[in-house]
Amino acid sequence: MDRLVLLVSTGVARGLVIALFALSLVIIWRAARIVNFGQAAMAVVAVYVAFAVHAATGSYVLAVLGALVTGALLGLAVERGLMRRVPGATPMPGMIVAIGLVMVLQSLLGVLFGPRHRPMSPVFSQSPLYVGDVPVLSRYDLFVLVVALVVVVGLGLLFNRSTLGLQLRAAAVAPEVSRLLGVRVPRMVTIGWMLSSAVAALAVLLLVPTELGLNAHSADVLFVHAFTVAVLGGLDSPAGALVGGLVVGVLISLVTGYASAGLAPLAVLGLLTTVLLVRPGGIFATKEARTA
């Protein structure tokens, strides 16, 4: 039982970061109908900036701000400079350009900073909080949890309760109609990109202290898990990203704990296959016609 508590709590902590990143993919899919394969690489660039800010000022808050701002600016640059020029009504060309972007960014980071991991110690103590005598979550995990929840709730409010959110959704679902109704569709797409990249940068910044450290490939696995999660939950569904992230996080933790680490990718593949067989548009798929 102790074991289960430990594994589930670990899974939740990891799953939340995955969920946050998956959420960024959902935002961009809703705004621009594109799966941004470049999300991880862009976020890593932003985190390198955050590291530089942290090194220069010693302030974690400024580092977080640095990551968010750089993330948003990168989103802006990529959308305005690149994606807007991509032809086509299908998602495929955009996805391919994004794959090209990953290659360029990762190799440039490799050239500039070399292959070494740059470790970052977390701001909060990593010593755990106990339930009974089981160490459950570290204070840092708790911090991640709170940040993730704040972001999720904030985005929920933004999309559902604000005019901007309404415009964002309208522009994504029915661009032509929205344009007629006076919504500046291109601007909405840009805002979607900026929002999405900033959230992704935050997710990677939260992830790095729990892993080996920062290098060009730090977020590769996170991206793969998050993409799986976004597909699992339904690319259109923020709730799906959240639930999917938690499910995948806990699944990986349980399989690693009770079976072996090597089986975890197979368990994720199995879960994804099963879900897609039953619901080809993901768990929280709404209208089929909107998914392609």
Partner 1 sequence: MRNHATTPTPRRAPGRAPRPPAVRAAAAASAGVVGLALTACSSPAAATPGIDDETVTVGTHQPLTGPAAAGFASISAATSAYFEHVNANGGINGRTIEYVVKDDGYNPATTQTVVRELVQEDEVFAMLNGLGTPTHSSVLDYLDQNGVPDLFVASGSTTWNQPEEYPNTFGFNVDYVVEGAALGQYAADQDPGAVVCVLGQDDDFGETFLQGVELALGADGVATYQTYSTSNEDVTAQIGAMRKAGCEINLLATINGFTAMSLGTAAKMGWFPQWYASSSGGDYPTLVEFLGEDVGPKLLDGFVSANYLPNSPGSDWYELFQQINDEHNAGAPFDGNTVYGMSVGYLFAEALAKAGEDPTRESLVEAVESGELAGNGILPLSFGPDDHAAYDGVGIAVVSGGVQDFVDATYRVDGDTVEAVEPEPVPLEDDGVPTSD
Partner 2 sequence: MTRTTARNGARSSTRTIVLRAIMLTVLALAATFALDPFRNYQLAVVAATFCATAGLTLLVGLTGQLSLGHGVLMAAGGYGYALVAGPAADAGLGGVGRFALGIAGALVLSAVVGGLLGLAGARLRGPYLAGLTLALVIALPAVATQVPGLGKDQGLGVPFEAVPAPLAGVMVVEQWHAWIAIVVAAVAVTPLVVLRSGPAGLRMRATHGDEVAARLAGISPARVKVTAFVASSVSAGLGGAVLAVVAQNVGPGRYSLAFSLLLLVAVVVGGLGSVGGAAVGAALVVLLPWLVDTVVSGAGMPADLEQRLSGNLAVAVFGALLVAVTVAWPGGLAGATAGPRARLARRRRPAPAPVLDPDTDPAQEPTSDPQPLTER
Q: Which residues bind partner 1 (CB under 8 A)?
A: 2-3, 6-7, 10, 14, 110, 114-117, 119, 121, 126-128, 135, 138, 210-213, 215, 217, 220-221, 252-253, 256-257, 260-262, 264-265
245 vs 282, which CB is nearer to partner 2?
A: 282
6 vs 40, which CB is nearer to partner 1?
A: 6
What are 33's two structure tokens? Answer: 């109908």
From partner 1, partner 2, none, interface partner of 97 (C-beta below 5 to 8 A by class): partner 2
From partner 1, partner 2, none, interface partner of 215 (C-beta below 5 to 8 A by class): partner 1
Alpha-carbon distance of 125 to 50, in angstroms, equals: 20
Q: Are 46 and 201 in contact (CB under 8 A)?
A: yes
Q: How far is CA 122 from the centre of its chain?
A: 20
Least spacing, CB of residue 260 vs partner 1, in Å: 5
205 vs 229, which CB is nearer to partner 2?
A: 229
Least spacing, CB of residue 224 vs partner 1, in Å: 9
What are 285's two structure tokens? Answer: 């798929």
Alpha-carbon distance of 285 to 173, in angstroms, equals: 14
What are 224's two structure tokens? Answer: 């793969």
From partner 1, partner 2, none, interface partner of 108 (C-beta below 5 to 8 A by class): partner 2
32 vs 216, which CB is nearer to partner 1?
A: 216
From partner 1, partner 2, none, interface partner of 235 (C-beta below 5 to 8 A by class): partner 2
What are 108's two structure tokens? Answer: 């440039």
Least spacing, CB of residue 121 vs partner 1, in Å: 5
According to DSSP, residue 214 is labeled B
Dihedral, CA of residue 35, residue 36, residue 40 and residue 46, to nearest 10: -140
Alpha-carbon distance of 120 to 205, in angstroms, equals: 10
| Binding footprint of partner 2 on the chain (CB under 8 A) | 29, 35, 82, 85-93, 95-97, 99-108, 110-111, 114, 224, 227-228, 230-231, 235, 262-266, 268-269, 272-273, 276-277, 280-282, 291-292
Alpha-carbon distance of 207 to 195, in angstroms, equals: 19
Least spacing, CB of residue 260 vs partner 2, in Å: 8
Report the 3 state secondary structure along 92-160. HHHHHHHHHHHHHHHHHHHHHHCCCCECCCCCCCCCEEEECCEEEEEHHHHHHHHHHHHHHHHHHHHHH
Q: Are 126 and 137 in contact (CB under 8 A)?
A: no
146 vs 259, which CB is nearer to partner 2?
A: 259
Least spacing, CB of residue 224 vs partner 2, in Å: 5
From partner 2, partner 1, none, interface partner of 201 (C-beta below 5 to 8 A by class): none
Least spacing, CB of residue 291 vs partner 2, in Å: 6
